[in-house]
Structure 1
Amino acid sequence: MRADIQVGATFPDYDLPDHTGVKRRLSFLQGRDPMILMLGRGVYCPKDRQQLMELVRFSAQCDVGFTRIVTITTDNLILSNDLRLGVGAHWPFLHDPERIIQQDLGIQEYTDPHNNPMIPYTFVLEPGLRIFKLYNGYWYWGRPSTAELHQDLRDITRRIRPDYQIDTPEMRAKWDRGEKEDFYPYGQSMRQVFIRMAGAVAQFDDPEAGER
C-alpha cells in the first residue's frame, strides 16, 4: 500500500464506471455522509461474496444511518453486474479492469498472477473521503465484521454530526431559536436525503455544486 494511504489521509477521488457504465467520482457517491469502500478481488472470489452477503444484510442499517457503500473490483462491466446481482446488493459497484487503483495504490496481489487482482481492502471513510479505518482482507478474518463497522460508524457519526446528542440545553436552545443549521439535514433538501437513502444514483446532486 502506498505510504500516504493511512488513517487521517484523504483517499484518492477515483472516477470509474459504475454497474450501468456511467463514470462516477467517489466524492459524488459519498456526498456528505460516511462511506464504506470495499476494494475486492472480484466475481471469482468466495471471500468477496461472503463479505458482500454480510454487507447486504448490514446495508439496511446503513440506509437509515445515512451511510453510503461502494464496491470496486477489477471485473469488467458484465462480471461486475454478475457479482452485484448475485449477492443482491443495491449500492454502486465500480469496475476497474484497467487496474488503475491497483497500480496507483501499489496493491497488486502478486501471489495470484493468473487473476491479477487488487489486495482486498475495506476503508471506512469520513465525509471528504477522509480515512477513518482501513482493513486488509487478504485473509478473510482481516476483513471487518459488521459489528466492527457499526462501531466505526458510531464513532464517525459522533464526531461529524453536531446533533448526535440533542438532549443538551445548548442544542434545545438552538432549536427553540430556530437555528436549524446544526440539525439534520443541515440545510439540505429532504428530496436529496431520500434519493440517497434509496440509492438512486442517477438522481444524486453533486455535493459540491448544491442542489440543481
Structure 2
Amino acid sequence: MQEQLKPGDSFPDFELPDQNGKRRKLSSFSRQSEADKRYGFKDGYPVIVVFSRGFFCPRDQQQFRSLVTFQNELRVNFCKLVSISADEPIVSSAFRAGLGASWTFFSDVERKLIKQLNILDETEGEYAYRALPFTFVLKPNLEIYKVYNGWYFVGRPTLEELRQDLRAIMQTMDYYSYDAYNSEHVKKIRIPQQNWLEDQPLGSSGLPVYEGIIESFDLRTGNGYIKCQDVMDRIFFNFTAIPGEGYRTIRPGTKVQFEFIETFTGLSARNIHEMR
C-alpha cells in the first residue's frame, strides 16, 4: 500500500472544481501576487489544505465553524485556506454559504486525489468512502510543512497551532522582514507617505508625464493598473502612488496624469492625479 505523505514531501498540484464548478489549481493559491513580482520578491505564501468527510459530519462542522473565525486573520496575513471533500459542488456551495465561509471548497467527487493521497476511509461506518480528515500545511512551493491526522477530533490543528506553523514558514520568506520593503526599489513603487507632505507638481521628479485611464483597482490589495495609449503594456500602481494621507482609492475609468517609471520588474506609475 502507498505510504501517506509526510513533512518534506511534495503535495500534488491538483486541479479540481470549486464550489461554483470552476476548475482551479492548488498552485494558484500559493504563488506570489503581481505586486510581489513588481517588488522583486520570489516567494509565495503558505496554504492550508483541509480534507473533510462532508457537510453531514458534526466534527467537520465544528472544525469549520472554528476556521470561519480564522478566515479574516488569514486574509490580512495573505495566507490561503482551501478544503476538499467528495461532495458535489452544489452541496459544497450550500454548506459554505451556511457557514459564512469565504475560502474555496473543492469537490473531489471521483475520489481521485483522495485515493492518490491514500486517505480514503474504507470502513463500513457512515463515513465510508470519504476522505479521512487530514489537514496539510504547505509551504509556497507546495512542500509539506506539517500534517495533522484528524481521525480523532483532538488530532485536528487548533488555530494557534496553525498560526505558529504559518509564522515559522513565513519567517523564511524573502518578503517577511521590514527591510525587504524599505529598499529603494520597493519605495519607487510603494511610495512613503512623507513624499507627499509637500505637493509635488507632476514632472518635478524628472520623470516623464503620461495620461491614461484607470483600468482596474483592487480595494483589498490597494493595487491597480493604468491603460495608456502611448504605452503597450498595462502600467502597475500601488495606492501609495496617489498623493495624500491614509488609504487612497480611485475608480476604474478615471482619467489620470501620472509620472512613468521603469523598474527591473516592470512598468509603474507614481504621482497619479485625476484629470478634471
Q: Shorter chain as normaliser: what TM range?
A: 0.7 to 0.9
Which position in structure 1 is the counterpart of 2:8?
8
Alignment of 1:73-84 (within 5 A): 73-84=85-96
Give 1:55 deviation, angstroms: 0.7
Instruction: Say if 2:94 is the partner of 1:87.
Output: no
Structure 1 residue ranges, 4+ long, deviating more than 2 angstroms after superposition: 1-4, 29-32, 112-115, 162-166, 190-195
Which position in structure 1 is the counterpart of 2:71?
59
Q: Which amino acid aligns with 2:66?
A: E
Give the secondary-structure state (helix, strand or coil) at the position aligned to 1:194.
Answer: coil
Bigger strand share: 2
Q: String of CA shifts for 1:130-181, please: whole Å, max 9, x gaps.
A: 1110100111110000010011111111111x34332xxxx38x835x1439
- The percent of aligned pairs where both chains have the same amino acid is 36
Give 1:4 deviation, angstroms: 6.4
The 8 Å contact of residues 87 and 109 in structure 2, kept in 1 or not, is answered as yes
Instruction: Say if 2:109 is the partner of 1:103.
Output: no
TM-score in terms of structure 2 length: 0.61
Q: String of CA shifts for 1:14-71, please: whole Å, max 9, x gaps.
A: 1100011011111112222111110110111111111111111011110111101101
* In structure 2, C-alpha distance between the alignment counterparts of 1:5 and 1:175, rounded to whole Å: 39
Instruction: Say if 2:186 is the partner of 1:180.
Output: yes
The 8 Å contact of residues 122 and 144 in structure 1, kept in 2 or not, is answered as yes
The 8 Å contact of residues 43 and 82 in structure 1, kept in 2 or not, is answered as no
Q: Which amino acid aligns with 2:12?
A: P
Give unmatched runs, 5+ long, in structure 2: 32-43, 191-216, 223-264, 267-276
Give unmatched runs, 5+ long, in structure 1: 185-189, 196-209
Instruction: Say if 2:229 is the partner of 1:194.
Output: no
Which position in structure 1 is the counterpart of 2:57?
45
TM-score in terms of structure 1 length: 0.78
Instruction: Say if 2:29 is the partner of 1:17.
Output: no
Cα 1:154–1:53 shift into 2, 3 Å: same
Cα 1:77–1:4 shift into 2, 3 Å: closer
Which position in structure 2 is the counterpart of 1:139?
152
108-117 or 74-83, larger mean C-alpha shift: 108-117
Which position in structure 2 is the counterpart of 1:204?
none
Which position in structure 1 is the counterpart of 2:235?
none
Instruction: Say if 2:143 is the partner of 1:130.
Output: yes
Instruction: Say if 2:78 is the partner of 1:72.
Output: no
RMSD over aligned Cα atoms: 2.9
Which of the numbers 165, 169, 172 marks the counterpart of 1:159? 172
- Paired residues, number: 185
Bigger helix share: 1
Which of the numbers 151, 162, 182 marks the counterpart of 1:149? 162
Q: Which amino acid aligns with 1:175?
A: N
